[in-house]
């Protein structure tokens, strides 16, 4: 027989509850409805939802929840870094690894700020006004141009995201 568990509003606030799929129950407006109710077993039913503390979920679901928490923490840290980093403001881009067109630049058509750990680099790439592969070009000509660019710059493209050829290949070709 299951033991009867009495949860107060305070207990619910300090205990993170999840459904069987690992979705966190965040409906705090309805927590006052549970105050003083008797709940049986390890699971608790609130408005036809079966909710469980994290320890009672499967290991796979626990890992999924922990991974989601780590991603949220990492994204919050990245947002803080992006707010503070002067290279992003100087280049006028919204974040690291997000290219932007620069129509007023005298020679280069795009700019991107790239980060790898603590190393940050502003990269300008693409010839201003170049006749690159677009939808206006007929398909055979487009394929030939794309293949010629990739063959000509293959070594530089392989250098990775700190190479202007990598970004030109990714954005323009």
Would you list the domain boundaries of the chain?
A: 1-84, 86-171
| Spatial separation of the C-alpha atoms in residues 12 and 162, rounded to whole Å | 48
The answer to whether 165 and 153 have CB atoms below 8 angstroms apart is: yes
pLDDT in tens, 67-113: 888 888 888 887 777 777 888 888 988 888 999 999 999 999 999 99
More confident residue, 12 or 37: 12
Helix (H/G/I), strand (E/B), else coil: 116: strand
User: What residue spans of the chain are helical by DSSP H?
Assistant: 9-14, 59-84, 86-91, 139-152, 154-158, 164-171
pLDDT at 133: 66
User: What is the reported pTM?
Assistant: 0.54
- What is the pLDDT averaged over residues 142-160? 90
More confident residue, 57 or 97: 97
- What is the pLDDT averaged over residues 130-141? 71
The answer to whether 9 and 32 have CB atoms below 8 angstroms apart is: yes
Nearest to 172 by CA among 87, 76, 101, 103: 101
Classify 120 in phi/psi space as left (phi over 0), alpha (psi -120 to 50) or beta. Answer: beta
Mean pLDDT computed over every residue of the chain: 76
Residue corresponding to tokens 């070709």: 173
In 3-state terms the chain splits into helix, strand, coil percentages (rounded to 5) of 45, 20, 35
The answer to whether 166 and 160 have CB atoms below 8 angstroms apart is: yes
More confident residue, 89 or 32: 89
| Spatial separation of the C-alpha atoms in residues 32 and 52, rounded to whole Å | 18
């Amino acid at each position: 027989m299951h033991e009867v568990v009495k949860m107060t509003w305070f207990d619910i606030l300090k205990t993170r509850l999840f459904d069987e799929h690992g979705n966190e129950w965040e409906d705090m407006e309805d927590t006052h409805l549970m105050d003083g109710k008797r709940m049986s077993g390890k699971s608790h039913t609130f408005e036809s939802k079966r909710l469980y503390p994290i320890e009672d979920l499967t290991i796979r679901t626990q890992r999924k929840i922990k991974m989601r928490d780590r991603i949220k923490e990492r994204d919050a840290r990245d947002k803080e870094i992006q707010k503070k980093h002067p290279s992003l403001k100087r280049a006028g881009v919204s974040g690291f690894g997000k290219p932007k067109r620069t129509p007023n630049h005298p020679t280069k058509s795009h700019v991107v700020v790239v980060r790898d750990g603590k190393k940050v680099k502003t990269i300008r790439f693409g010839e201003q006004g170049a006749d690159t592969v677009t939808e206006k070009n007929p398909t055979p000509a487009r394929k030939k141009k794309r293949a010629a660019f990739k063959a000509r710059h293959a070594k530089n493209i392989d250098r990775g995201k700190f190479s202007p050829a990598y970004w030109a290949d990714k954005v323009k070709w």
